Amino acid sequence: MVDFSFSEEQELFREAVREWLSKNLTLEQVRENDTNHELPKSLIKGMGDLGLLLLTLPEEDGGSDADWVTATIGAEELGYADISVASPVFYLVQASWGYVINKLASETVKEKYIRRAATGNGFIGIGVTEPGGGSDVAGFKTTFKPNAGGGWNINGEKCYISGTAEAAEMDGGYFVSGFNNRDAGHRGMTAAFVPINYEGVEITKRFDNMGRMAISTGGFKMTDVNVPADYQLGETNRGFYSTMEGFDAARVLVSASCIGAAERAMNLGMDYIKERMAFGQPLAKYQGIQFDLADMVAHHEAIKSLVYRTAWMLDKKYNEGFDALELAKYISMCKYLAPHHALDTFRRVLYWMGAYGYTKECPLEMGMRGVMSYCIGAEGSANIQKIVIARETMGRDWTKTR
């Protein structure tokens, strides 16, 4: 029988996270972070103390051994609190890519970087996108050449990478994949952990983003970066598959943070229309507003159910074995639908608010700017998600991209 209920432990987790965020990440604090272009160290440390950071890792590596449904709850609650989705980015990148990195990492990398990040004293990120593209992983230019004494000599450039400033300040690092055998195509890729402050790594710039202002987005160049053998992540020639695994987990959490932000937008909008008077009665009394709300709520609940079903499927994949390609289709449906739903929700609620909604006195403009990043790209563009959905629905013979 289908069971849509959360466990008691998951419900308690949600309550604890929401209560902590209601005190430590108010909308006023979100606005301050957005204006200052910075996540306060106290917030990051508090998230670590609460057990939010890298919660999907085993306890011996600093995590809580949380399942993916629980991690999805965390992403949703962070999106609800921080509608700019800056702190959700800090959380979800580490909960997803950190899980993959930790699973493949040596004890050296775990001890020097990962366990420290789980306490809020480090940062573990994903360095995938390149100047020539991001979603086309098999088209990367980054190269891995074997060193005579072991390890890799890495050359390449990454851009539009989340958390470069934070990683540099916290002495963190990134999952990086590239070609060790280009002739073998995607089967000739290897992954490694590259510390951002390593010799040969240069941060190229911090982009002046439209949204998500409180977390940096930058680029870094790798010039003859010699990483030792124990910084390799997983097996040689398996880098492409590790990259795809990271994308899968991250896209679920991205979708959840968008669901949280959209729900907050609707709640703020309902508070407004119940108070705002027009022609002698609250805006909420008008059927045009009610129908608009009904449309948003129906889409919201359907997409939210899809996101949690997909998180459940991700747990099944790791615990019992689940068709990875079928899962990829559901993940892409989440990543395609949730950000666009969130963006549309912010737009429609801002319309309710009239001139006030067009000012920075209204917090919703932060959300509109933030969730747009997930519509454009950030863990995979919308059209890439459509390709995956069509491919896994019709069959690969009909949707070849190469």
The 10s digit of each residue's pLDDT in 76-117 is 999 999 999 999 999 999 999 999 999 999 999 999 999 999
Question: Which letter does DSSP use for residue 57 in this model?
Answer: S
How much is the pTM? 0.96
The 10s digit of each residue's pLDDT in 35-79 is 999 999 999 999 999 999 999 999 999 999 999 999 999 999 999
Please compute the mean of the pLDDT values over residues 140-149 and round it to a whole number: 93
Cα angle 138, 140, 146 (rounded to 5 degrees) comes to: 100
The 10s digit of each residue's pLDDT in 177-192 is 999 999 999 999 999 9
Domains of the chain: 8-118 (1.10.540.10), 124-239 (2.40.110.10), 240-398 (1.20.140.10)
Alpha helices in 27-173 (DSSP H): 27-36, 41-50, 68-81, 86-104, 107-109, 115-118, 164-170
Query: For position 402, what pLDDT does the model report?
Result: 56
Question: What is the spatial distance between Cα 337 and Cα 340, in angstroms, rounded to a whole number?
Answer: 6
The 10s digit of each residue's pLDDT in 348-364 is 999 999 999 999 999 99
Interstrand relation of 124-127 and 173-179 (parallel, antiparallel or unpaired): parallel
